[in-house]
Amino acid sequence: MTDSPARVLTDDELDVLELALGGAVPRLPFVTGPVTLTDTENTPLAEVGADGSPTPVKPIAAALGPQWDERLRVPARDVAAAVAPGTTAVWTDEVPTVEDAATIARVAERGGVLLLVPASRRTAPGTVGAAGLTRAVVALAEEIPGRPRVVVVPYPHRSTTAVAPVDVTPADVATAYGAERLLVPGEERSPETRAALADLPRAHARAVAALYPAASAREVERAAAAGHGRGTVVFFTGLSGSGKSTVARALAAELDDDGLGTTLLDGDAVRHHLSKGLGFDRESRETNVERIGYVASLVAKHGGIAVAAPIAPFAASRATVRGLAEAAGARFLLVHISTPLEVCEARDRKGLYAKARAGEIPDFTGISSPYETPDDADLTIDTSEVSVEDAVNQVRAAL
């Protein structure tokens, strides 16, 4: 680790960094070195030299879901080394239709096929996320002659409201992964299939209109558009390194994959935005937690799901957050990630405990500042004994 300035990466930039570290992108055009790249938890991930090329420092944190399966999420250089000459890469950025499957099967009959699944850390509302897309493509591969290989590709989110930090095209990625040709099934669809897909949002309305009188149909449509009902706040608390952010991210990703719009309020990410400028004394920490609780209560008030994961060391501020959620009419679930201090310190991905022990960080929870163990937790999980997947399942069961 050098003394170079640090830059916290966005989700899109994390995708590009992963591409670069895997050999798919030669350099990072959105930074000039020397600089240390970190995630929102301030974990150093890579050092960037003056030429823009990154050198890994620590592994990029993975999450749950098939898109994170290490058998599928393989670096470009490793895939390219194993791809047969003449292979066609199929860019499956949408759930394949019946027509798409037939197109891919015809290509597979003529030669090698590599199914690339572009998986972003962000999902546009109303679309199938990375987990669902990966499941669909893996299932499709089982039906294609020769069972082509499926590879998950970290890829920046693209939409009309968000611009990727680097112009990485599907053709660039296909070449980096060893393919000689690129097929985008969506571009090969017939006019009939395109029209049918475009008409899907109106199909429900027509079905409702056919089943109900006009006044009843309006009420059914109104109820369908009213949201998800009672909102929920899932509030994680625990020491730095306990695993609360990892579990929170995995939970939010699963809820998103189920079509439940979820807002993740991670402690470190909030510090960069909502609570920028606050210190780490007791008053500042309580203010930070209460700000998170206020935003979470607003999300839940309108039927959404808010997942928050600050350290939240003090009982008084946690009680305030619970009160805000309940006043908004939301369900509130306090999850204590009770991983022992010695385990948290051994993990120490950010190197913070070592600095705290050396006296370089004052008011560090668990070392020089107290952590008030919750006596009102709705769920207690020790991630030194429970896997992330099991932890998420416990939270979902509690909900």
> Which residue positions form the known binding site?
238-245
Q: How far is Cα 39 from Cα 60, in angstroms, rounded to an integer?
A: 8
Residue positions counted in the chain:
399
Number of H helices, E strands in the chain: 14, 13
Element (H, E) at 353: helix 352-357
Q: How far is Cα 69 from Cα 151, in angstroms, rounded to an integer?
A: 10
Q: Tell me the pairing of strands 6-8 and 35-38.
A: parallel
| Residues in Cβ contact with 273 at an 8 Å cutoff, skipping those fewer than 6 apart | none
Residue 366, token pair as written in the block: 């668990």
Q: How far is Cα 226 from Cα 204, in angstroms, rounded to an integer?
A: 16
Q: Name the residue among 192, 237, 242 with its Cα closest to residue 374.
A: 237
ω before 201 within 30° of 0 (cis)?
A: no
In 3-state terms, what secondary structure has residue 219?
helix
Residue 158, token pair as written in the block: 């693209």
Backbone phi and psi for residue 152, each to the nearest 5 degrees, phi listed first: -85, 130
Q: How far is Cα 29 from Cα 266, in angstroms, rounded to an integer?
A: 27
